[in-house]
Amino acid sequence: MYAPSFNVENDTNKLHEFMRQNSFALLTTQAEGALMASHLPLMLDPKAGPHGHLIGHMARANPQWRQNEGEALVVFSGPHVYISPSWYEAERMVPTWNYVAVHAYGSFQIIQERDALLEILRKSVQTYEGSRESPWTFDESGAHIDAMLKAIVGFRVEIRKLEGKWKLSQNQPEERRARVVRALSEQSDENSQAIAALMAEGLP
Protein backbone atom coordinates (compact mmCIF):
# COMPACT_ATOMS: atom_id res chain seq x y z
CA MET A 1 0.00 0.00 0.00
CA TYR A 2 1.35 3.42 -0.93
CA ALA A 3 1.73 5.45 2.25
CA PRO A 4 4.03 8.45 2.84
CA SER A 5 5.89 8.19 6.13
CA PHE A 6 3.62 10.72 7.88
CA ASN A 7 0.56 8.55 7.10
CA VAL A 8 2.03 5.23 8.26
CA GLU A 9 0.63 3.50 11.36
CA ASN A 10 2.76 0.65 12.73
CA ASP A 11 1.27 0.05 16.17
CA THR A 12 0.09 -3.58 16.02
CA ASN A 13 -2.39 -3.15 18.86
CA LYS A 14 -3.93 -0.14 17.11
CA LEU A 15 -4.10 -2.00 13.81
CA HIS A 16 -5.70 -5.03 15.46
CA GLU A 17 -8.32 -2.88 17.17
CA PHE A 18 -9.13 -1.22 13.84
CA MET A 19 -9.53 -4.65 12.23
CA ARG A 20 -11.91 -5.74 14.98
CA GLN A 21 -13.98 -2.58 14.67
CA ASN A 22 -14.11 -2.83 10.85
CA SER A 23 -14.27 -6.60 10.49
CA PHE A 24 -16.30 -6.73 7.26
CA ALA A 25 -13.32 -6.93 4.93
CA LEU A 26 -12.29 -7.68 1.35
CA LEU A 27 -10.45 -11.00 0.94
CA THR A 28 -8.40 -11.16 -2.27
CA THR A 29 -6.55 -14.24 -3.53
CA GLN A 30 -4.98 -15.28 -6.80
CA ALA A 31 -4.70 -18.53 -8.75
CA GLU A 32 -3.55 -19.24 -12.30
CA GLY A 33 -3.11 -15.54 -12.98
CA ALA A 34 -6.66 -14.60 -11.99
CA LEU A 35 -7.69 -12.49 -9.01
CA MET A 36 -10.78 -13.24 -6.94
CA ALA A 37 -12.25 -11.18 -4.10
CA SER A 38 -15.04 -11.72 -1.56
CA HIS A 39 -16.58 -9.35 0.98
CA LEU A 40 -16.68 -11.26 4.27
CA PRO A 41 -16.80 -10.74 8.05
CA LEU A 42 -13.50 -11.89 9.54
CA MET A 43 -12.51 -12.64 13.11
CA LEU A 44 -9.06 -11.82 14.45
CA ASP A 45 -7.02 -14.10 16.70
CA PRO A 46 -4.37 -11.59 17.81
CA LYS A 47 -2.29 -14.10 19.79
CA ALA A 48 -1.72 -16.53 16.91
CA GLY A 49 1.66 -15.91 15.31
CA PRO A 50 3.58 -12.63 15.35
CA HIS A 51 0.82 -10.63 13.63
CA GLY A 52 -2.29 -12.71 14.36
CA HIS A 53 -4.58 -14.90 12.27
CA LEU A 54 -7.83 -14.09 10.49
CA ILE A 55 -10.62 -16.67 10.59
CA GLY A 56 -13.78 -16.82 8.50
CA HIS A 57 -15.98 -18.88 6.22
CA MET A 58 -17.57 -18.58 2.81
CA ALA A 59 -20.25 -20.40 0.85
CA ARG A 60 -19.04 -23.65 -0.66
CA ALA A 61 -20.62 -22.41 -3.90
CA ASN A 62 -18.08 -19.55 -3.91
CA PRO A 63 -15.28 -20.70 -6.28
CA GLN A 64 -12.64 -18.62 -4.48
CA TRP A 65 -11.85 -21.33 -1.93
CA ARG A 66 -11.05 -23.79 -4.72
CA GLN A 67 -7.95 -21.77 -5.56
CA ASN A 68 -6.36 -23.78 -2.76
CA GLU A 69 -3.72 -22.39 -0.46
CA GLY A 70 -1.69 -19.36 -1.48
CA GLU A 71 -1.09 -15.68 -0.79
CA ALA A 72 -3.95 -13.46 0.35
CA LEU A 73 -4.48 -9.74 0.77
CA VAL A 74 -7.23 -8.68 3.17
CA VAL A 75 -8.32 -5.03 3.07
CA PHE A 76 -10.03 -3.43 6.05
CA SER A 77 -11.63 -0.06 5.29
CA GLY A 78 -12.64 2.53 7.85
CA PRO A 79 -14.15 6.00 7.71
CA HIS A 80 -13.37 8.13 4.66
CA VAL A 81 -14.41 11.59 3.52
CA TYR A 82 -13.84 14.20 0.82
CA ILE A 83 -11.77 17.21 1.92
CA SER A 84 -12.59 20.51 0.21
CA PRO A 85 -9.58 22.79 -0.45
CA SER A 86 -11.69 25.73 0.73
CA TRP A 87 -11.58 24.39 4.31
CA TYR A 88 -7.83 24.96 4.55
CA GLU A 89 -8.35 28.71 3.93
CA ALA A 90 -5.03 28.79 2.09
CA GLU A 91 -3.92 29.34 -1.50
CA ARG A 92 -2.89 26.64 -3.96
CA MET A 93 -4.68 23.82 -2.13
CA VAL A 94 -6.33 20.94 -3.98
CA PRO A 95 -9.19 18.54 -3.21
CA THR A 96 -8.24 15.31 -1.45
CA TRP A 97 -9.71 12.40 0.47
CA ASN A 98 -8.94 11.49 4.07
CA TYR A 99 -9.35 7.89 5.20
CA VAL A 100 -8.11 5.05 7.38
CA ALA A 101 -7.28 1.57 6.10
CA VAL A 102 -5.36 -1.57 7.04
CA HIS A 103 -3.92 -4.18 4.68
CA ALA A 104 -3.14 -7.68 5.98
CA TYR A 105 -0.93 -10.00 3.91
CA GLY A 106 -0.61 -13.72 4.61
CA SER A 107 -1.13 -17.32 3.62
CA PHE A 108 -4.65 -18.54 2.80
CA GLN A 109 -5.51 -21.97 4.23
CA ILE A 110 -8.73 -23.94 3.78
CA ILE A 111 -10.56 -25.49 6.77
CA GLN A 112 -13.05 -28.27 6.05
CA GLU A 113 -13.06 -30.49 9.16
CA ARG A 114 -16.51 -30.62 10.76
CA ASP A 115 -15.42 -29.73 14.31
CA ALA A 116 -13.24 -26.87 13.08
CA LEU A 117 -16.09 -25.50 10.95
CA LEU A 118 -18.47 -25.75 13.88
CA GLU A 119 -16.02 -23.81 16.04
CA ILE A 120 -15.81 -21.05 13.40
CA LEU A 121 -19.62 -20.71 13.40
CA ARG A 122 -19.67 -20.78 17.20
CA LYS A 123 -17.10 -17.97 17.40
CA SER A 124 -18.91 -15.96 14.72
CA VAL A 125 -22.14 -16.06 16.70
CA GLN A 126 -20.32 -15.14 19.91
CA THR A 127 -18.56 -12.25 18.19
CA TYR A 128 -21.55 -10.67 16.47
CA GLU A 129 -24.39 -11.65 18.82
CA GLY A 130 -22.60 -11.33 22.17
CA SER A 131 -23.21 -7.61 22.64
CA ARG A 132 -26.87 -7.70 21.60
CA GLU A 133 -29.56 -7.19 24.21
CA SER A 134 -31.38 -10.34 23.09
CA PRO A 135 -28.73 -12.44 21.33
CA TRP A 136 -29.72 -15.19 18.92
CA THR A 137 -28.88 -18.68 20.21
CA PHE A 138 -26.92 -21.05 18.01
CA ASP A 139 -28.59 -24.47 18.42
CA GLU A 140 -25.79 -26.90 17.59
CA SER A 141 -28.09 -29.89 18.10
CA GLY A 142 -30.47 -28.86 15.33
CA ALA A 143 -31.04 -31.26 12.47
CA HIS A 144 -30.08 -28.55 10.01
CA ILE A 145 -26.52 -28.17 11.34
CA ASP A 146 -24.94 -30.85 9.16
CA ALA A 147 -26.56 -29.39 6.06
CA MET A 148 -25.32 -25.94 7.08
CA LEU A 149 -21.76 -27.18 7.59
CA LYS A 150 -21.76 -28.92 4.19
CA ALA A 151 -22.72 -25.62 2.56
CA ILE A 152 -19.69 -23.67 3.82
CA VAL A 153 -15.90 -23.77 3.76
CA GLY A 154 -13.77 -22.27 6.51
CA PHE A 155 -10.43 -20.60 6.08
CA ARG A 156 -7.54 -19.05 7.96
CA VAL A 157 -5.16 -16.30 6.91
CA GLU A 158 -1.87 -16.43 8.80
CA ILE A 159 -0.82 -12.78 8.74
CA ARG A 160 2.83 -12.19 7.84
CA LYS A 161 2.65 -8.42 7.34
CA LEU A 162 0.35 -5.57 8.40
CA GLU A 163 0.20 -2.11 6.84
CA GLY A 164 -1.79 0.75 8.27
CA LYS A 165 -2.53 4.11 6.64
CA TRP A 166 -4.05 6.99 8.60
CA LYS A 167 -4.39 9.71 5.92
CA LEU A 168 -5.52 12.64 8.05
CA SER A 169 -3.88 15.74 6.50
CA GLN A 170 -0.73 15.23 8.60
CA ASN A 171 1.27 17.00 5.88
CA GLN A 172 -0.57 20.24 6.60
CA PRO A 173 0.24 22.79 9.34
CA GLU A 174 -1.66 22.52 12.60
CA GLU A 175 -3.87 25.56 11.96
CA ARG A 176 -5.05 24.17 8.61
CA ARG A 177 -5.85 20.79 10.13
CA ALA A 178 -7.84 22.53 12.85
CA ARG A 179 -9.91 24.32 10.20
CA VAL A 180 -10.66 21.00 8.50
CA VAL A 181 -11.70 19.48 11.82
CA ARG A 182 -14.11 22.37 12.38
CA ALA A 183 -15.56 22.02 8.88
CA LEU A 184 -15.99 18.25 9.19
CA SER A 185 -17.56 18.62 12.62
CA GLU A 186 -20.30 20.72 11.03
CA GLN A 187 -21.21 17.87 8.64
CA SER A 188 -23.99 15.50 9.70
CA ASP A 189 -22.74 12.21 8.24
CA GLU A 190 -20.92 9.57 10.28
CA ASN A 191 -17.81 9.50 8.09
CA SER A 192 -17.22 13.23 8.51
CA GLN A 193 -17.69 12.99 12.26
CA ALA A 194 -15.37 9.98 12.53
CA ILE A 195 -12.56 11.58 10.49
CA ALA A 196 -12.94 14.83 12.45
CA ALA A 197 -12.48 12.90 15.69
CA LEU A 198 -9.42 11.07 14.38
CA MET A 199 -7.84 14.30 13.12
CA ALA A 200 -8.59 16.03 16.44
CA GLU A 201 -6.56 13.34 18.24
CA GLY A 202 -3.48 14.59 16.41
CA LEU A 203 -3.96 18.21 17.46
CA PRO A 204 -2.65 19.71 20.72
Q: Is there a domain that residue 181 lies in?
A: no
Q: What is the pLDDT of residue 68?
A: 67
Domain interval for residue 115: 5-173
Name the 3-class secondary structure at 33. coil
Per DSSP, helices labelled H in the chain are 12-21, 114-129, 145-150, 174-185, 190-201
CATH code (residue 21)? 2.30.110.10
Confidence class of residue 34 from pLDDT cuts 50, 70 and 90?
confident
Q: Is there a domain that residue 179 lies in?
A: no
In whole angstroms, give the CA distance from residue 41 to residue 19.
Answer: 10
What mean pLDDT do residues 56-71 have? 90
Count the domains in the chain: 1
- Give tens-digit pLDDT for 89-122: 989 999 999 999 999 999 999 999 999 999 999 9
- CA neighbor of 118 nearest in space, from 136, 89, 85, 145: 145
**Residue 144 scores a pLDDT above 90:** no
- How is residue 90 annotated by DSSP? -
Q: Is there a domain that residue 10 lies in?
A: yes
